[in-house]
Amino acid sequence: MNDKIVIITGANSGIGRAAAIRFAREQYKIIMACRNIEKSKKIQQEIIEQSNNHFVELLKLDVSSFQSIKDFCSEFKKKYKKLDILIHNAGYFKHGEKEYQLSPDHIELSFATNAIGPFLMTHLLADVLKKSEDARVLNACTTNIRHFFDSNRTIDYDNLQGELIDSRRYNSYKMYGDSKMALLMLTFKMADVFRKDGIKVNAIQIPAIKLSKETLIKFKSVWRMAASIQNIYSSTPESMADTYFYICTSEECKDITGKLFNDKRELMRPSNYSSGFIQEFKQLTDKGVYPKYADDIANIERVWELAVQLTSK
């Protein structure tokens, strides 16, 4: 048995489930952090059977809720003194959702689930991560952030707590992109903040990955059809799980922190393409770059301050 402990959020489905199997096969101690315990028990059993690893524990976590995050972290710390790998895989995105969704703490739901929750949870687990000799945190980002190559695109800070619920059309696709951009910027800053503690924090830019039947069922019909077509040419959750495993365990990545990886396992860099049709086209087709927006100190500080303010209430 490997004595390393890994927490994977959203480990009952898709990439998270595949990652749990991948780590379990290598005999890591797995903590599946899932919001629906009944549904996830069946998956836990499958992972145990497929990996022949009996150290696959299921703990309740709703990462959109501060109270649930606090409960999860105190439960974890009662049982374990250190944590080696924390994978913020759980993500909320409901294709075609028209109604503004709020988290239990009154934060737009994708922002709460995808950015503020992982921020709070990483902070609450920092003391046990510090105890690991090689602590690594991985945040699941998305190619959707590439919309920020548009220089007019910004995070809608004015509507993150339902301020414009009645006057602005809710765009779940944009909110999802905003939340994942915030997660990326929080990744960069957390890497700096936790560097002194030896905790490495990186993100992975995930492209289209095949969605499970369970996930497709949650979509409205037209979006379900579009996602089913996209599934035909998408990579498998298992291939992305291999990439999670590589970033979180390999010698090559041991000293890397504050970086965004692409699905080819390459380190990405902020774009320095200038304006103009040819430059913009090159930027769009260059898989090695991410939008400058994410690298801007003022943008990073703004989202950091917001995360601190929202979580310290």
Does 31 participate in binding ligand NAP (rule CB under 6 A)? no
- List C-alpha distances in Å: 202 to 74, 87, 106, 192: 24, 10, 28, 11
> Minimum Å distance from CB 275 to ligand NAP?
27
Question: Considering the rule CB under 6 A, would residue 291 count as an interface residue with ligand NAP?
Answer: no
Assess 159 for contact with ligand NAP (CB under 6 A): no
Q: Which residues contact 48 (CB under 8 A, 6 or more apart)?
A: 24, 54, 56
CA–CA dist 182, 198 (Å, integer)? 23
The distance of Cα 204 from the centroid of its chain, to the nearest Å, equals 8
Q: Which is nearer to ligand NAP, 91 or 291 (CB)?
A: 91
Closest by Cα among 101, 115, 240, 126 to 181: 115
Which range, of 201-209, 252-260, 269-277, 303-311, touches ligand NAP by CB under 6 A?
201-209
Per-residue mark of binding to ligand NAP, 63-102 (x: CB under 6 A): xx------------------------xxxxx---------
User: Where are the strands (E) in 249-307, listed by range?
Assistant: 260-261, 269-270, 289-290
Any contact of residue 111 with ligand NAP (CB under 6 A)?
no
62 binds ligand NAP (CB under 6 A): yes
Q: How far apart are CA 4 and CA 83, in angstroms?
A: 7
Question: Do 300 and 189 form a contact (C-beta atoms < 8 A)?
Answer: yes
**Per CB under 6 A, 148 contacts ligand NAP:** no
Give the interface with ligand NAP as residue ranges (CB under 6 A): 9-10, 12-16, 35-36, 61-64, 89-93, 113, 140, 142, 206, 208-209, 211-212, 215, 237
